[in-house]
Chain A
């Protein structure tokens, strides 16, 4: 269909502002980042082309980048997996028409709308080794109970219970353990979001499927495994993509919990990027990190989508 002149003017005038802004401030800078990553530049003098030297440096020069990448993978492996499993579990529980489901749904979502800066500061307090540290406080109570129980058990000649194998209070938010300590925080703050996502998908499944399964005498677990899970597969994949991207891009938590000065033991990709560019003025190196971050996001999205497209079920 050919548009009239008037319509052409309309379409162009409506598309142009967004197109221009997006091109100038998203698409163009993305290409620039690629070019920066091939240069050696301190942000002031004339940049020098160095080819793939920056990428070579990422892996060869020091092991900072590799360590940071490893930390992102740790976050993904532990934080991502547990978030996914826990949110799926909660969604399945609420899907069975629990009374007060709205209350749980709304409340579980709370941490997701709170500023990540506030959440990181709050968790520093929760992990604290001072009187504020609830987590250390609870562990100390448990430890004391275990030790006293062991005293009784040994009096009776019974085998001992395992005790917490480290000294309390434990510096959870210290540089050395920071990455592992962020894992529970990630689970705490994102489970609600993914639960809402999966629950919405589950509610689209026709009730008749479950009725038929009930007539055939299927247990709750088999219904979940054979009906719910296959039918929300697409949304599950999307959730997985979101989680992977989120763990790759993580910045705020490390930055805040490390008082804006992460060490090698606590760096993630985004903080390496920031520190290289804005405190060491090594723009090329920082941009190479950014480009690799993009490549990782891109590949994991593509891979996950490809894997899920195979057998989408229509109903």
Chain B
């Protein structure tokens, strides 16, 4: 009897929080399936897509299916979410590849080779975990100006210009650099846990050090790489501050920037359907990654926290 009451109380508490977390998200999704007129009449009603529209005869009220199409089309095409999405995919993918490759190389060298200064270099990388991004924001902004000038001067004979301000390249470089400390922490721990005899066996069979890394160690470290990739993906995909400071051209905005400006315009024009569709477009990729890879994500959080 006591245990029955206990479990009822437990479930009540858990379900209340579950509702608090899920209901706003469900609200966003259902409203993205409704026309602005529909939302205006009742912001919390069920979509007419399911219940059927009570205004079938009124030509000014769009049919439910039409409304859904219109919201997403307006968001994706007219409000350039397709562009922002592509930009975010490009920036995130390039940053992820960059940070994983560089961190894997550095971590492997730090984890598997003994040399003077090994510990010092590892700690040097780790000290980055304590540096808030805001500290490097301002100097980087000005540093980019003269780095661009110097780089352009060097590359001009080849016909290139180096632009770090208002460019994906600048953003990617920053994201890679800022993600290095955490990724190196996770991957060094991972490489240390792999058996060292594998390397010796590879060398015996005539593999070079590079070959051992590429053909033996890298494939074995895939779980670690996946974990690091997910955590970095979530951080970079949602990053706002650096994109806000560095990107000016509307065409180069990433999703968080695009959402902020589109949502402001949409509220001004009371185009609620468009705004909610924009929310959904931003939310869905990270939610999907979380749902599919939640086991690796959980492990990543634990590893990061215990070692950090």
Contacts and interface: CB of A to CB of B under 8 A. Distances in A.
Interface in A92-142: 93-94, 96, 98, 103-111, 113-118, 121-122, 126, 131-132, 134
Interface stretch (B51-59, B69-77, B104-112): B104-112
Interface stretch (A210-218, A223-231, A285-293): A285-293
Contacts of A15: 105-106, 109-110, 121
A259 B268 CA distance: 12
Which of B22, B108, B135, B308 has the most CB atoms of chain A within a 10 A radius of its CB? B135
B224 to A, nearest CB: 16
Interface residues of A, number: 88
Contacts of B302: 197, 200-201
Nearest to A284: B138
B81 interface: no
Interface residues of B, number: 86
Given A108-B21, A113-B286, A115-B282, A22 B181 contact: yes
B298 interface: yes
Contact of A116 (B21, B102, B240, B257): B240
B283 interface: yes
B238 interface: yes
A7 interface: yes
Interface in A148-166: none
B283 A115 contact: yes
A3 B255 contact: no
Given A15-B109, A22-B180, A36 B130 contact: no
A201 B303 CA distance: 10
A114 B287 contact: yes
B232 interface: no
Interface stretch (B60-68, B154-162, B258-266): B258-266
Interface string B227-247: 000000010011011001100
Contact of B17 (A90, A196, A200, A248): A90
Interface string B271-295: 0000000010011001101110010
Contacts of A242: 305
Label chain A's interface by main secondary structure: helix
B121 A19 contact: yes
A26 B176 CA distance: 10
B193 interface: no
Contacts of B125: 18, 22
Interface of A: 1, 3, 6-8, 10-11, 14-15, 17-19, 21-22, 24-30, 32-33, 36, 43, 90, 93-94, 96, 98, 103-111, 113-118, 121-122, 126, 131-132, 134, 188, 191-193, 196-197, 200-201, 234-235, 238-239, 242, 245, 248-249, 251-252, 255-256, 259, 269-270, 273-274, 277-278, 283, 286-287, 290-291, 293-294, 297-298, 301
Give the top 4 A-B pairs by smallest Cβ distance, nearest first. A25-B177, A32-B139, A29-B139, A18-B106
5 contacts: A3-B114, A188-B21, A197-B302, A238-B308, A291-B135
Given A121-B263, A201-B306, 4 more contacts: A8-B115, A32-B143, A200-B302, A249-B132
